[in-house]
Amino acid sequence: MDKIIVRGGASLHGSVEISGMKNAALPIIYACVLVEDKCVIENVPDVRDVALSLNILRDMGAKITKLSKNTVEIDCTEISCGMSHPELVRKIRASYYLLGSEFGRFGEAKVAYPGGCDFGGRPIDQHIKGFEALGGKVKADCDKVEISSEYGPKGTNIFFDIVTVGATINVMLAAALAEGTTIIENAAREPHIVDLANFLNTCGARISGAGTDVIKIKGVNSLHGCTYAIIPDMIEAGTYMVAAAATGGCVKLTNVIPKHLESVSSKIEETGAIVDEYDDSVVVTGRDVIRKANVKTHPYPGFPTDMQPQMAVLLCLANGVSYVSEGVYEKRFRYVEELKRMGASIKVDGRTAVIEGGKPLHGADVRAVDLRAGVAMIIAALCAEGTTEISDIHLIERGYDDVVGKLREMGADIEKVSYPD
């Protein structure tokens, strides 16, 4: 079993290069199923969810060639429909993008029901609404989801009942090769939706409006291969920005798009830290006094839910009482129990956590309960008195490329240790 050991007290200094965005790389990897050609994807983060997704495609007949640590060639010319391995598909949520890409390419799909972090119910009713509007006949049970159709997806208009990243992506995938035009209204506006549209358009698709709440997809007959670089990871960047502010350090983050970080930068500045923005970098300078602040998570461009646990740690160190409201998921406070073991004073009431800041944190044995919660524990450990041991770190490695190495470079006293199981 592997653990991360952190001895707290050091403030972070120096610079860190941000990797490609996991949540942009995953839909683009599954979008290659639509392309009967070779695609070279650059700036791919070297993380577990990407490796797993490439294995899923390889098992389906795709030819996968790692050209470097962060560049992969994907050739789905020979891929077969419905051949993904259920036990791999169930390990992550993003595998459900196979539904849209298989339906788009083959006119049918058969995929095990997806996994993903436990944030309460994570229904796929809007995905199904989209596939049915495109003419698909959908059969879904707790085991698998199947889509069938007589002639393949047909262009249509879809108005989502809620803003959903996954369903917006899945309909874009299914509609790219559809007959006719599809218009998605109340679409998600995340930067990785734009990245997917840019990738598909580079392959010859005709998608406009990505990044707004109305996306138009004019179906084309086929897509050709391309070379495409993934955007930087705004959540990885936000994570290290919070770590710099929490430890009272000064860190330059390179390979970022400051525009994507606006809500996070603004919230970090509200707590008293300084954020200087440049073309493709930001510098975060922490201050001795951390001010309380209230956070409400919301789909982009609101404050991202994937930054909620990390921000909660910073607010544990602030003077006064802060309120964190989770606006996207039913429950995303499982990490609070772990933080309380380190001395945090937090009360959870439904979708709101009340954080009484100013209580010193001390080292403890804690768990990563999910990807972002796990990295929040690392930030807490960096600021705690004494030593913290974090287990279940494979969950952190799902989405953070070399988190230990990057933090060590910035002066953290942190190491990964392997223990015999």
Residue nearest to ligand EPZ according to CB distances in the complex: 166
Is 142 a catalytic site residue?
Answer: no
Catalytic residue, chosen from 39, 117, 250, 316, is 117
| Smallest distance from ligand EPZ to CB 114, Å | 9
Q: How far is the CB of 413 from ligand EPZ (least distance, A)?
A: 26
Provide the minimum distance between the beta carbon of 124 and ligand EPZ in the complex, in angstroms, as a whole number.
Answer: 5
- In whole angstroms, the minimum distance from the beta carbon of 149 to ligand EPZ comes to 20
CB closer to ligand EPZ out of 11 and 170: 170
Q: Of the candidates 6, 134, 95, 22, which has an alpha carbon nearest to the alpha carbon of residue 390?
A: 6
Indicate the residue among 89 and 250 with the shorter CB distance to ligand EPZ: 89
CB of 140 to ligand EPZ, least distance (A): 11
Closest to ligand EPZ by CB, 252 vs 406, is: 406
Considering the complex, state which of residue 207 and residue 369 has its C-beta at the smaller distance from ligand EPZ.
Answer: 369
Least distance to ligand EPZ, CB of residue 206, Å: 24
Sheet of 144-148, strand order: 109-112, 144-148, 137-140
Q: Which residues sit at the interface with ligand EPZ, rule CB under 6 A?
A: 23, 26, 93-94, 117, 121-127, 162, 164-167, 305-306, 328-329, 371-372, 399
Based on CB atoms, which residue is closest to ligand EPZ, 261 or 364? 261
Nearest to ligand EPZ of 110, 372 (CB atom): 372
Residues annotated catalytic, as ranges? 117
